[in-house]
Structure 1
Amino acid sequence: MNAVIFDMDGVLVDSERVVWESFRYAGEKTGVPDVERMAIIGLGLNDEAWIKRFRQEFGADSDRILEHEEAYLQNFYANGAAPAKKGAQRLLEQLCAWNIPVAVASSSPAAVVRGRLERVGLLQYFTAVISGDMVGRSKPEPDIFLEAARQLGSPAALCTVIEDSPNGLRASRRAGCRTLFVPDLWRPEEEHPELYDARFADLDTVREFFAAEH
């Protein structure tokens, strides 16, 4: 293991639940049923791919839903921040102590990625920060992980990716990285060996796994 690449939302920062609540709120305000399913459908997509999929799902209701969803998010982040995920700081501290370079590869825009990580005190640990607006294709294509590996100076095959979404897992696999799955909102009842090499309950158990390898 030469390097570790993290997704952000749902892996390092507990922000996916905020998105789920924003869609639930928008559904209540507009009367459109089952809007919160978009919080799962859109996991791992960059903004362009996400909006395209959203409009496919909700058609003429899209603008009304987005108005309320965005208002909820603006109010939430104006008054606070999504917290770091359990074990995130301990894992990052350990990797730095082992001199293993780490990157974050998130589909969110660069300003969002840096802002959320800085607010929870995690930005300092990263050698490279790769955002969805820095690559041509969204997850599940491998571009973002290949770029992260390039910036870390490591072959993708020697990088370990930590992901929580099916789109992110597929992107990591296609990049040729070792892929670890730490579930958040998406919690499949069945195992999906085609998507990941190992599944963990949280980042503390990932840290124990790495310690056994080190």
Structure 2
Amino acid sequence: MRIETSFLFDLDGTLVDSVYQHVLAWKEALDAEGIELSVWRIHRKIGMSGGLFTNQLLRETHGEISADRVEHLRQLHAEAYKRLRAQVCPLPGARELLEALTNAGTRWAIATSGRMETAQVNLEALGVDPAKQVVVTRDMVKYAKPDPDLFLAAAARLNVPIENTVVVGDSIWDMLAARRCRSLGVGLLSGGYGSDELERSGALRVYEDPADLLLHLDEVAARP
């Protein structure tokens, strides 16, 4: 029996060119709280859940870790990110990739560690309506990446076995989550991580961006 493949996409750095806008927004939030941290250290944590992100940052800087402070930082980041929305745009080939999958009858969903308040900026740039397409955000699950909850929830909403899915992401957190839920991980270089890091985290294949993946879909997926 032929197994049809469904796709579970990360959002930031995978479909939308927004990773560095998130880095700048977190930098602004941290600066506002008097927390000094290099930009490169912030980038290394983009893609994991916001709560885990802030907890790790505060631990590294020996700052006070409290639920109120974590929530305040999250709000500052969301406000700063929204101010950068004009800089957010789809990555090369992202719209064409989603259109090709849709036209081929291949099911796909988006699963992002971002909450809807920031994910909505990206979805609008991408032209995806969460009322019409499966989109799972941090608000909808108990744990986010590197835990697999987001991808498991997305597969459940598509009504497909998680083992028959391909997780496409740009960060090590996506690949680790894919391994934990027994999905096939495919990495993209469009979020700033290198091929070696993505492969060590579990990526079976690594491509430059959505346009490159579109050219090589037959390498990772069985068509309907």
Structure 2 length normalisation: TM-score? 0.80
Q: Structure 1 CA distance, aligned partners of 2:21 and 2:150?
A: 24
Q: 1:52 to 1:16 in 2, by over 3 A?
A: same
Deviation at 1:211, TM superposition (A): 4.6
Q: Which amino acid aligns with 2:99?
A: E
RMSD, aligned α-carbons: 2.9
How many residues are aligned here? 210
| 1:172 pairs with 2:178 | yes
Match of 1:17 in 2: 20
| 1:209 pairs with 2:216 | yes
Deviation at 1:33, TM superposition (A): 5.2
Q: 1:75 to 1:172 in 2, by over 3 A?
A: same
Deviation at 1:174, TM superposition (A): 1.0
Deviation at 1:19, TM superposition (A): 2.1
Deviation at 1:50, TM superposition (A): 1.6
Report SS of the residue matched to 1:197: strand
| 1:32 pairs with 2:5 | no
Contact 1:114 1:123 in 2 (8 A): no
Report SS of the residue matched to 1:38: helix
Unmatched tracts of structure 2, length 5 or more: none
Match of 1:129 in 2: 135
Q: Structure 2 CA distance, aligned partners of 1:195 and 1:123?
A: 30
Q: Structure 2 CA distance, aligned partners of 1:50 and 1:193?
A: 21
Q: 1:128 to 1:27 in 2, by over 3 A?
A: closer
Match of 2:116 in 1: 110
**Structure 1 segment 143-154 matched on structure 2, within 5 A:** 143-154=149-160
Unmatched tracts of structure 1, length 5 or more: none
| 1:4 pairs with 2:12 | no
Identity between Structure 1 and Structure 2 (%): 23
Matching residue within 42, 45, 49 for 2:48: 45
Match of 2:58 in 1: 55
**Structure 1 segment 185-204 matched on structure 2, within 5 A:** 185-187=192-194, 189=196, 192-193=199-200, 195-204=202-211
Structure 1 length normalisation: TM-score? 0.83
**Structure 1 segment 86-101 matched on structure 2, within 5 A:** 86-101=92-107
